[in-house]
Each structure stands twice: as structure tokens, then as C-alpha cells.
Structure 1
Amino acid sequence: MKTERTETIVILSQREIEKMRRAGQLAAKLLQYLEPLVKPGVTTLQLNDAAERWTKAHGAKSAPLGYKGYPKSICTSVNEVICHGIPNAKQVLRDGDIINIDVTPILDGYHGDTSKTFIVGNASPKVKQLVEVTEECLRLGIAEVKPGAKIGDIGAAIQEYAESYGFSVVRDFVGHGISNIFHTAPDIPHYGIRGKGKRLRPGMVFTIEPMINEGTWEFEMLGDGWTAVTSDRKLSAQFEHTLAVTEDGVEILTLSA
């Protein structure tokens, strides 16, 4: 999302991390709920409305809705859309599409932020490869997280793997700190140099959310001011988790309990 990040990195208490864990588990369950609804003939607005009903029924609210003017409850980024696609009634999913669904419920004041790219129906081997490589990029980025590591270690691992398949890493949209505030320091680029950047410390909580493109990493912004698309209109995939740095490694907070 468009951000106004605070500059100070906040170290969360165990009580706060527990609240982040509960919000994260809810976010994971929301994606699980939406997954069987992703099929040819469904509109992105139908996915949005289903997510909003489910979120309210579980005592939470949708962080994107109204955030800096964003008009919907989730982001639905289809095919060449890198991020922040706005659900609408005219966008009908077709066999072979890919769609990233990005959800952020707020539970007890804290944010659970996660996303996943789904394949609609059947897709070509090349499309499947892009999605699989992007998910592996997230896994490799998470594997770098531990006390004493540098933020650049995360981006370097992601960039090296994505580029080894001939794909590119989006530069203009990055992961971010998160807590009871949607977007905070630090920025987490998905490209970089090992040993560079801020040092990770226990209690830091942030997202890793690599956006990997089939072609160029460059983007264009559509007229709605939100939807970012690949400049060459080739495909883009994304996966996201919210993470906490622990005393001896990392905990993924956006997993279903």
C-alpha cells in the first residue's frame, strides 16, 4: 500500500507479538477461506465482498478499506498487475489467469498481513514456474532472518534465486515493519547486497513480500493511483508473510493455527 512509514524501528513486546500472532493466524485463515472461491467466472469484487463478510464475522476489520483512500477490503492483482489491484465487478477471472490476493485484517488493534498468488484453473508450465519461483523466493528470504543478520541478506537471497530463472525483482515496492500501525520502519527490499542494511534484532516484526516479474522489473501506475502494472505487461507474482525476529531465528506469524 502507499505508505507514510515512521523512521523509528519499534521492538515489540511479547504481549504485542502475541497479538500480532493472533491477527496473523486470522489473516492466514482468511486466505484459506478465499482459495476455493478462486475459479473461472468469479469476479474480483465477489472475492472482496466475501472477504469483507468473513472478516466482520470474525470480529476483525479490513485494514485496506479506506486506507489513504483505498476503496476496497483486499487487493486483487491479476496477471500483469504487480500489486494494489482494486477489486471490481467487471474483472472476471479466466482459466489460466494468476491472481495475488493480499489481505490485512485488524484484530484487537494489530495487523495480520499476508498474500498468495493463486493459479485460476489451468496454466502453462512457464506460468507455474513463475509462481513456484516466487513462493520459493519468499521461503529463501525468510530463511535469512535471525538476530545479527542484515536486511540486505534477505534481498540478496531473493534476487539471486529469481534472477537465476531469468525473472526480475520489483524495486519500487518493498516489505515493511508492521504492528498496530499498518506500515512502519524498516523497509525490506527484495533485492540487495549481503552484509548491507540495518541489523535485525529480536522483537522486530516486518513483512517479506517479493514481487517477481516475468519480464522487466519496471512498473507503471494506472490512472486510479493504486494499480501498479509491469511496464511490458508481462506477468507478476507475489507471496507475503509477516515475521517476527526471535532470540534464535524467526517466527512466521501469518500461518494458520
Structure 2
Amino acid sequence: MAKRRKRIRIKTGEEIERMRVAGAIASEILCEMAAAVEPGMTTRAIDELAAARMKERNCKSAFLGYRGFPGYTCLSVNEEVVHGIGGPRVLQMGDIIKIDVGIVKDGWIGDNATTVPVGEIDEATKQLLMATEQSLFEAISHVHAGNRLADVCGAVEAHVRPRGFSVVREFVGHGVGRELHEEPQVPNYRPTGKTPILEPGMVLAIEPMVNAGTASVRILEDGWTVITGDRRMSAHFEHTVLVTEGEPELLTARPREATPERLGLL
């Protein structure tokens, strides 16, 4: 018997309004955390800042306790790809930190991530950040009703691979709504076979995870933190995106971070 594909949940009316609120809060908290990053901070201090900001906005972490995850946010430094846990690690000048914020507000989830330079970073790492963030927007440009999901997914690898970078294949984006991980899966490469046709009301968490070197990764003994197989840098950017009748809507809209101007290249 053929395996039935799980249904993709379509959001309508009030549901979309609630997702807009959740997305805006997730974006605000992410921006506040990013602005606070500086050399000498511990990742635990950044996680504690997120906890305080969530309390102020009367929302809760979508990550804390999820399958046993112990942090309010995911904080991954340098070669750590995703799912890093806030702790005693001290940020140093030249590091990069990936900040992933997911919140629940009135039963609906907002999920977004960015990669933040700690002080001045080297030229190669700047190029990695710019390519990764741009690949996110290349993918978003394909979020139109009637397109296939494969067009969204394939845009990430198509952008970063010619620039010498690789996409992580073991971890992917996803649908999002009342649950943190809903259908469909959203890989950062073009999947084989027929993929769903995008419809208004679908909400996707698109999140390129791009490595400077090998695409291979492994999980540390804490059972969560994912690192690159060659210990080279990795970058991560994410938006929650609504499929509409027209242009895609960023439910976690915020200013672009990895631009030449912001990174001091102009």
C-alpha cells in the first residue's frame, strides 16, 4: 500500500492574523538579541536575555522543552551549525553566532534566525554570510501560489554552490503554525520526485544552513549541537513566509543583516 502524504495545513483569516503577531514578536526578539551581541558575552547570557524578552511580551519559547531541548533559543557559534545550547562559552572577536528564535503566542508560532558577527570578522566569513542570507531571499522569491516547492528548495543550493559553499542536507526547513514542525519539509536543495504545489495559506519556515567547506555534519555528545564535519564555519538565516495570492509575505520581516554595507565591505 502506498504511503499517504501528510496534509499541509492551510491557514486562513484569524489564523493568519495570529501568525503575523507571533512572527512580529519573534523578529523583534531576534533583533534585540542580535544587537546585544559583543565580545566577552557568554551564550548563556544571550539565552537569558531572550527569556526576559519573551516574558515581557507574554509569550513563551517554542524550543524550551521541545523533545527535551534545554534552552530558550538555539545559539550556535562558528563551526556549530544549528541547535547549540546557551552555556559558558564566551564569544570572541571574529566569531559568528547563529541565533534561532522560536516563540509561541496565543497558540501560534513565529520562527526565525540570523547569523551575527562578533566584532570584525574575516573576509571569507563575510562572503559566507552574504551568500547564505541572499540564498534565503532567492528561495523566498519563488514562494508564489502555483509554483512547486522544489523551486523554493533548489534556489538555495543554486545560489551558494557556485560560490564554493555547501548546503546541509540532514537538517531542513519546514511548515509551521500551531506546531513547530509541520508539513512540508523544506530542504535547501532540489528534492527528487514530485513536490507539493504552493497554495495561499501555506506557511513555510525557510532556513538555509550553509557551510564554508564540507556539507557533512555530526552531532556532539550533548545530543543537540550540530557541527560541520571539517570544523569550518557555517551560517544560518531563516524567515517564516506566508504564501499569498500575490507576493510572499514575510511574517518575521526585519532589515537585511548580511549586506556589504552592514559588513563593512563598501
Q: TM-score range by the shorter chain?
A: over 0.9
The structural deviation recorded for 1:193 is 5.7
Q: What is the deviation of 1:249?
A: 2.9
User: How many pairs does the alignment contain?
Assistant: 251
Aligned to 1:27: 26
Counterpart AA for 1:252: L
Contact 2:73–2:101 (CA under 8 A) maintained in structure 1 = yes
* Candidates 168, 172, 176, aligned match of 1:170: 168
**Separation of aligned partners in 2, 1:161 and 1:193:** 16
CA distance in 2, matches of 1:218, 1:56: 37
Check whether the contact 1:148–1:201 (CA below 8 A) recurs between aligned residues.
Answer: yes
Q: Percent identity?
A: 44
Deviates more, 1:111-120 or 1:153-162: 153-162
Deviation at 1:218, TM superposition (A): 0.8
Q: Which secondary structure does the structure 2 equivalent of 1:111 belong to?
A: strand
Counterpart CA distance in 2 for 1:86 and 1:186 is: 26
Give the corresponding residue for 2:259.
Answer: none
Quick one: which amino acid aligns to residue 144 of structure 1? H
Q: Deviations over 1:72-108 (max 9, x none)?
A: 10000110011000110x2000000011100011111
Q: 1:238 aligns with which of 224, 236, 239?
A: 236
RMSD of aligned Cα (Å) = 1.5
Q: 2: distance between equivalents of 1:151 and 1:215?
A: 26
2:10 maps to which residue? 11
| Separation in structure 1 between the aligned mates of residue 156 and residue 63 of structure 2, nearest angstrom | 26
Query: Could you say which residue in structure 2 is the equivalent of 1:43?
Result: 42
Native 8 Å contact 1:153 1:196 kept in 2: no
Cα gap change, 1:158 to 1:256, in 2 (>3 Å):
closer
1:78 corresponds to which residue? 77
Q: C-alpha displacement at 1:181, in angstroms?
A: 0.9
Q: 1:256 to 1:15 in 2, by over 3 A?
A: farther
Q: CA deviation at 1:36?
A: 2.2
Provide, for residues 112-168 of structure 1, a one-character-per-residue CA deviation record: whole Å limited to 9, x for no partner: 100000000001110100001100000100001101111110121111110010000
Paired position in structure 1 for 2:141: 143
Q: Which moved more, 1:31-40 or 1:110-119?
A: 31-40
1:3 is matched with which residue? none
Partner of 1:116: helix, strand, or coil? strand
Moved over 3 A (4+): 193-196
Distance across 2 between alignment mates of 1:194 and 1:143? 21
Q: 2:113 matched to which residue of 1?
A: 115
Residue identity opposite 1:23 in structure 2: A
> 1:128 is aligned with what amino acid?
K
Residues 205 and 245, structure 1, Cα contact 8 Å, conserved in 2: yes
1:207 and 1:242 in contact (8 A); partners too: yes
Scaled by the length of structure 1, what TM-score is found?
A: 0.95
Deviation at 1:7, TM superposition (A): 2.2
In the alignment, the residues of structure 2 paired with residue 229 and residue 244 of structure 1 have an alpha-carbon distance, to the nearest angstrom, of 30
Instruction: Output the amino acid matched with 1:163.
Output: R
Q: Structure 2: which amino acid aligns with 1:153?
A: D
- Cα gap change, 1:191 to 1:30, in 2 (>3 Å): same
Query: Structure 2 unaligned runs (5+)?
Result: 256-266
Return the TM-score normalized by structure 2. Answer: 0.92
- CA drift at 1:196: 4.4
Q: Distance between the aligned counterparts of 1:195 and 1:248, measured in 2?
A: 26
